[in-house]
């Protein structure tokens, strides 16, 4: 399993763009990169998944360089409600029957008014 | 979208008793469900993978006789913490995968807060 490294915590202010970078130097050829969000006392919620280059949805963007050894989750114009822990996971495509999700430490994002 | 329901959302039990936690996929069928444990300020730790109709697969270091998992149907998996002790107090979260891979993804329940006194 490819290990991931993320900053333990980040702070931001409302309305700013937040970029959280995750390192995964040992990512395998068939691994995907997936990000989850978790609020206190709740289960994680899927944010975005990508394999290479850039993926965008209504919530976030995911940037993956050509070597795929890192990825960056970009949250545009954060609000107080984006305060949460964000997890970067590397593993099989979430559509794969092979997958088990192993969570790393995650990044505590705190958004201030 | 896919919804996973956990019950109860919180439970307090006496040391030495057993507690059952239910995980239900409400609008999809799940051949595979996963159970996690999360201590305060820590990440989720995968405890076991539950497959419908077969024995669960436990992660290394997880006592299968203490954490009994049953996955008798495509929409229900249960985790029973037997002879609970205060060190078992934690946040337990289940996750389910849709059998229809066109609806792929892992959906998580809202968790169960177990406090053993």
pLDDT mean by block of 10 residues, chain B; 117 residues:
91 97 91 93 94 89 95 92 97 86 74 97
Mean pLDDT, all residues of chain A: 91
Rounded to an integer, what distance in angstroms lies between the CA atom of residue B93 and that of residue B81?
Answer: 13
Q: Chain A residues with CB inside 8 Å of B105's CB?
A: 46, 94-95
Q: Determine, for residues A99 and B106 on separate chains, whether the beta-carbon distance falls below 8 Å.
A: yes
What is residue A44's three-state secondary structure?
coil
Distance of alpha carbon A60 from the chain centroid: 9
Rounded to an integer, what distance in angstroms lies between the CA atom of residue B66 and that of residue B18?
Answer: 9
The more confidently predicted of residues B105 and A91 is A91
pLDDT (tens digit, 9 = 90+) per residue, A26-43? 998 888 899 999 999 999
Structure tokens that stand for B28 in this block: 């999809």
Q: Which of B93, B108, B114 to mutate to probe the A interface, most A CBs <10 Å?
A: B108
- Min mean pLDDT across A22-26, A90-94, B32-36 is at A90-94
**pLDDT at residue A63, as a whole number:** 97
Q: Are strands A61-64 and A53-56 parallel, antiparallel or unpaired?
A: antiparallel
């Amino acid at each position: 399993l490819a290990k991931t490294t993320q900053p333990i915590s980040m702070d931001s202010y409302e309305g700013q763009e937040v970029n959280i970078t995750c390192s995964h130097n040992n990512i395998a050829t068939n691994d995907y990169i997936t990000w989850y969000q978790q609020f206190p006392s709740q289960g994680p919620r899927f944010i975005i998944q990508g394999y290479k280059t850039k993926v965008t949805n209504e919530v976030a963007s995911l940037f993956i360089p050509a070597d795929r050894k890192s990825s960056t989750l970009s949250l545009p114009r954060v609000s107080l409600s984006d305060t949460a822990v964000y997890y970067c996971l590397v593993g099989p495509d979430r559509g794969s029957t092979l997958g088990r999700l192993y969570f790393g430490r995650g990044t505590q994002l705190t958004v201030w008014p | 979208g896919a919804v996973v329901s956990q019950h109860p959302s919180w439970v307090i039990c006496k040391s030495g008793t057993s507690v059952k936690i239910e995980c239900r996929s409400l609008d999809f069928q799940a051949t595979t469900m996963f159970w996690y444990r999360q201590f305060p300020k820590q990440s989720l730790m995968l405890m076991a993978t539950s497959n419908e109709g077969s024995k669960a697969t436990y992660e290394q270091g997880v006592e299968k006789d203490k954490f009994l998992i049953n996955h008798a149907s495509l929409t229900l998996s249960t985790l029973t913490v037997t002879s609970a002790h205060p060190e078992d107090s934690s946040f337990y979260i289940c996750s389910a995968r849709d059998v229809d891979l066109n609806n792929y993804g892992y959906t998580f329940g809202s968790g169960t807060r177990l406090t053993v006194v």
